[in-house]
Structure 1
Amino acid sequence: MRKTKAITVLLILCLAAFVVLSGCGGNKNEASSPEQASGNASENASETPSAQASPEASKLGGKVVFWSMWSNTEPQSKVITEAISEFKAANPGVDVEVKFNGRELFKLIKPALESGETVDVFEYDPAGALANLKDHVLKLDDLLEQPAIGSDGKSVKDSLLPALMNNVKSLSKTAGLEEGYYALPQQPYAVLFFYNKALFQKAGITSVPKSWEEFLAACEALKKAGVEPITFDDAYRDQFIGGYLSSAMGSDWVKALVTDKTGAMWKDPMVLQFAKDMQALHEKGYFSKTIGGNKYPAGQQDVALGKSAMYFNGTWLPNEVSATAGPDFQWGSFQFPIIPNGNDKGGQQGLSFGAQGILLNKNSKNIPAAFELMKYLVGKKAQEGMAVQALAIPATVDTPWPSSLAEAAVAFDKATVNMPWGFSINSGADFSSGSVIPVFMELVTGKINAEQYVAKMESEAKKFYGGK
């Protein structure tokens, strides 16, 4: 009797699996609207491009444990959940356990990997992962030749934005690993000025500023229209100082500046020019009146509320303030203006961009299924979901960007130099956080003038690096 029941149950399960798999071979059209993209996984199963999964996908089994850097309340988690549902429909023999850790993942993942806890796939900033977790990540080069999910026969490698793939590959050499790809890029970002188009129109500004002179003119027009031109808060103030200096001299020069043990570079004419320009922005009232005390997310909320016009921030900004800004907010973006008297190593040829990444634990006991799941997470439909539901930059080629990031896409496409996070202003580590940024804030709030800034930074550098 037990044997008969077991056979019956097995037949039912097989029939159910056949029905699910059959449902995946229908309409291959991708979700093109919020309504389509936000449907549940079972409703969208017929639109899943699972027919393009690797030939052995349906034979995969076992368990895959995936740790995500998103919390289960963020829109990214919904897209991930939908992608996992589609993966499971195409691979019914695989059990997927997902843990939405939020940003706590960055604290938890290293101890987990070092203790041997089962984590097959995890999200992490690729640069940070290769610096801190390089003994735990698998080189993916051979796996990247597999067909991508939903990308018209492209390989996984060719389905993802070349700029991001090149960036990921370059990180391996920096980390001292064998050159190659150790992460699949996702959730790309770029750092630009984000602005309120309605306020620009109110001030009569008809085009975004490209030069510093045009930037100052825009600030003056905004001020006359009763709008505070510029804001930032403590989370991203490093971007502003790094953006100016790198636009003038390039990020390599900025790195040399903040790591100069003699302090002599702080007497460079460009530093004084920078300081005078910051002093002028303060004296002319172009900085927000609350900029000195802004704690994250105060500055970006001021932009969303229309109190301030511009914030030099990342492409995640429209999503982070979407609840405050509302659906009708008109976002625009532009690169940091070209600074005069530079060395031709900066300008708008450079852009600070990168991506979060999905990585595979090299000690995973189920690498084939784990990588197949990764393919779904960076597949065409999932990345379209990220663009629609999370207002994020999609990592796949030929995928439309959110309208709020349309101008960022232009900057992304034309950039030829990838500048690091903060444009290297943070390369001084404790010196950057303990001296460079605090003294910068003294300057922009009028506590010291340009000449005092130069003298103080030279002194601070000598004091910090003395004897090192």
Structure 2
Amino acid sequence: MKKRIISAFLISAMTVAAVAGCGSSGDSDKGGDGKYSGVTLNYWSMWNSSEPQGQVIQEAADAFSEETGATINIEWKGRDINTLLSSALSSEEAIDIFEDSYMNIAKNYKDYCYDLTEMAEEAGYADKSFGCFNDKVVEWAGFLCAITEQPQVGGVWYNKDIFEDCGITEVPTTWTEFMDVCEKITAKGYQPLALDGTYADFTFGYHMDRVIGQDVIKDLAMNGGWSENEGVIEAADDIIEFVGNGYLAEGAPDEYPASQNKMGTEQNVAMVVCANYVTSEVKNNTGADLNWGLFNYPEVEGGVDPSNAYAGANSLGIASYSENPQAAFDFVMFLTTGEYDQKMADTAIQIPADPSNTEPETLSGSIETLKATTSPLDWNMGMNDNSDLKANFKDTIIKLYEGKFNTGAEFAAAMDALY
């Protein structure tokens, strides 16, 4: 009987000590609820710690650690991360969270990714993200393996002040309306469109997409037959008319970034077709704080793809072998929604990953454009699929904007001559 009493006393004492120990470990050091005390998450980032993105990531990691007791160990890999990930993941290096483009994660690393579908559903992630990215990830990988962190979107970026001065109160949605806007801009003494050779194929790719769609462009890029497609000829004829009307900025197509910089230095060029980073590039290069806006590339009468936009995203994946996938997912959500997603958008001047947050003023229109996009367009709308000829495509398209072709048929023949 005495032994039983002593044993009971010892068990009770050990229990009290254990409870006291739990209360005095991660909780007192880290604060918060200690949900993940003792958990260490290794995060490979594509940024550097000195960059605005890196600074926000570190701040979010510190706050998550304070709130949950987890330790976030960040390794700043920089832009070369995609040269390191395949071998690192295949050899199961100590990685819980990693960062790369959503396409690379879904296409190249899917075999090493944790299936986030159930956790995302429980977290209501569909209401905290852009569906166009999630749908493409699932299409490519077969399951949700990437959480969007830093979206990008392309379209027509314009100077709102020039539009106002020209009496343009509505952005154009059709090619006819766009041409009318260009005429109003020209009549007021401004130049409608900046164009650097670097983005010539992106700009014309957008126009072709509106006429024939990206899937057809991809097929033509790989197999030729440009001259046999009336839509290609129509799209090229549209650009020949556009150039002939004098709607390109002086010197365009120029050597990058000379033409887009004129939007900041001369401030008499109204528009440029590019992705959202053009706003930061112009400011960094010229110091000008322009009153930017975005509208989707205009649709073409009788065309096939009126509303999709180029869109890309840096995203986060979780290694399939992570020992703490729920903790990793919770941190990823902590970073890409709510307070820290808004801080990322404001600090790095980028589009928020959570559409319920607010875009920076200079990226006005980006959330609306992404919401309207159901199937994001690739960069150069599929022409890059032919790696052997993509540089030749670009050179031929630059000639189109230089006015070297008299008809769309001549342009199409020149594209076929590349094979």
TM-score with structure 2 length normalisation? 0.84
- Residue identity opposite 1:198 in structure 2: D
Q: Choose 435-444 or 286-295, whichever is displaced more.
A: 286-295
Provide the rounded CA distance (Å) in 2 between the counterparts of 1:126 and 1:280: 37
Superposition map of 1:185-264 within 5 A: 185-259=148-222, 261=223, 263-264=224-225
Correspondence 1:78 to 2:55: yes
The partner residue of 1:405 within 363, 381, 389 is 363
Q: 1:204 to 1:123 in 2, by over 3 A?
A: same
Provide the rounded CA distance (Å) in 1 between the counterparts of 2:86 and 2:195: 32
Where does residue 263 of structure 2 map in the other structure? Answer: 303
The 3-state SS of whatever aligns with 2:359 is coil
- For residue 440 of structure 1, report the CA deviation from its aligned partner: 0.6
Q: 1:19 to 1:313 in 2, by over 3 A?
A: same
Provide the rounded CA distance (Å) in 1 between the counterparts of 2:413 and 2:36: 68
The partner residue of 1:453 within 399, 411, 417 is 411
Where does residue 331 of structure 2 map in the other structure? Answer: 373
Asked if the contact 1:187–1:357 (Cα under 8 Å) also holds between the matched residues in 2, the reply is yes
The 3-state SS of whatever aligns with 2:365 is helix
Provide the rounded CA distance (Å) in 2 between the counterparts of 1:161 and 1:445: 38
- Residue identity opposite 1:183 in structure 2: A
Where does residue 426 of structure 1 map in the other structure? Answer: 384
- Residue identity opposite 1:444 in structure 2: Y
- Residue identity opposite 1:137 in structure 2: C
- For residue 192 of structure 1, report the CA deviation from its aligned partner: 1.0
The partner residue of 2:28 within 2, 18, 23 is 18
The partner residue of 2:299 within 330, 333, 338 is 338
- For residue 240 of structure 1, report the CA deviation from its aligned partner: 0.7
Q: 1:78 to 1:434 in 2, by over 3 A?
A: same
Please give the per-residue CA displacement for 1:344-400, whole angstroms capped at 9, x wherever unaligned.
x2123x223242210012233443433332222223111111222223222224222
- For residue 195 of structure 1, report the CA deviation from its aligned partner: 0.4
Asked if the contact 1:318–1:391 (Cα under 8 Å) also holds between the matched residues in 2, the reply is no
Provide the rounded CA distance (Å) in 1 between the counterparts of 2:291 and 2:179: 22
Please give the per-residue CA displacement for 1:118-160, whole angstroms capped at 9, x wherever unaligned.
322111112222222233222112332454xxxxxxx345433
Provide the rounded CA distance (Å) in 1 between the counterparts of 2:29 and 2:85: 38
- Residue identity opposite 1:380 in structure 2: G
Provide the rounded CA distance (Å) in 1 between the counterparts of 2:351 and 2:43: 22
Where does residue 435 of structure 1 map in the other structure? Answer: 392
Where does residue 160 of structure 1 map in the other structure? Answer: 129
- For residue 193 of structure 1, report the CA deviation from its aligned partner: 0.3
Where does residue 64 of structure 1 map in the other structure? Answer: 41
Provide the rounded CA distance (Å) in 2 between the counterparts of 1:356 and 1:110: 17
Please give the per-residue CA displacement for 1:206-258, whole angstroms capped at 9, x wherever unaligned.
32222222222222332333333212334433321111011112222222222
- Structure 2 unaligned segments of length 5 or more: list them: 1-16
Where does residue 352 of structure 1 map in the other structure? Answer: 310
Provide the rounded CA distance (Å) in 1 between the counterparts of 2:278 and 2:187: 26
The 3-state SS of whatever aligns with 1:329 is coil
The 3-state SS of whatever aligns with 1:221 is helix
Q: Choose 193-202 or 274-283, whichever is displaced more.
A: 274-283
Correspondence 1:276 to 2:252: no
Asked if the contact 2:110–2:145 (Cα under 8 Å) also holds between the matched residues in 1, the reply is no
Specify the structure having the higher radius of gyration (Cα).
2
How much is the aligned-residue C-alpha RMSD, in angstroms? 3.0
Q: 1:238 to 1:68 in 2, by over 3 A?
A: farther
Provide the rounded CA distance (Å) in 2 between the counterparts of 1:302 and 1:107: 36
Where does residue 317 of structure 1 map in the other structure? Answer: 278
Asked if the contact 1:70–1:102 (Cα under 8 Å) also holds between the matched residues in 2, the reply is yes
Provide the rounded CA distance (Å) in 2 between the counterparts of 1:447 and 1:249: 23
The 3-state SS of whatever aligns with 1:419 is coil
Provide the rounded CA distance (Å) in 1 between the counterparts of 2:200 and 2:190: 20
- Residue identity opposite 2:325 in structure 1: I
The partner residue of 1:364 within 307, 315, 322 is 322
Asked if the contact 1:319–1:392 (Cα under 8 Å) also holds between the matched residues in 2, the reply is no
Provide the rounded CA distance (Å) in 1 between the counterparts of 2:261 and 2:352: 25
- Residue identity opposite 1:100 in structure 2: W
- Structure 1 unaligned segments of length 5 or more: list them: 1-6, 25-50, 52-56, 148-154, 173-178
- For residue 181 of structure 1, report the CA deviation from its aligned partner: 0.5
The 3-state SS of whatever aligns with 1:247 is helix
Where does residue 138 of structure 2 map in the other structure? Answer: 169
Provide the rounded CA distance (Å) in 2 between the counterparts of 1:19 and 1:132: 39
Asked if the contact 2:210–2:305 (Cα under 8 Å) also holds between the matched residues in 1, the reply is yes
Asked if the contact 1:250–1:347 (Cα under 8 Å) also holds between the matched residues in 2, the reply is no
TM-score with structure 1 length normalisation? 0.76
- Residue identity opposite 2:62 in structure 1: S
Please give the per-residue CA displacement for 1:4-52, whole angstroms capped at 9, x wherever unaligned.
xxx9xx99x938943752xx5xxxxxxxxxxxxxxxxxxxxxxxxxx7x
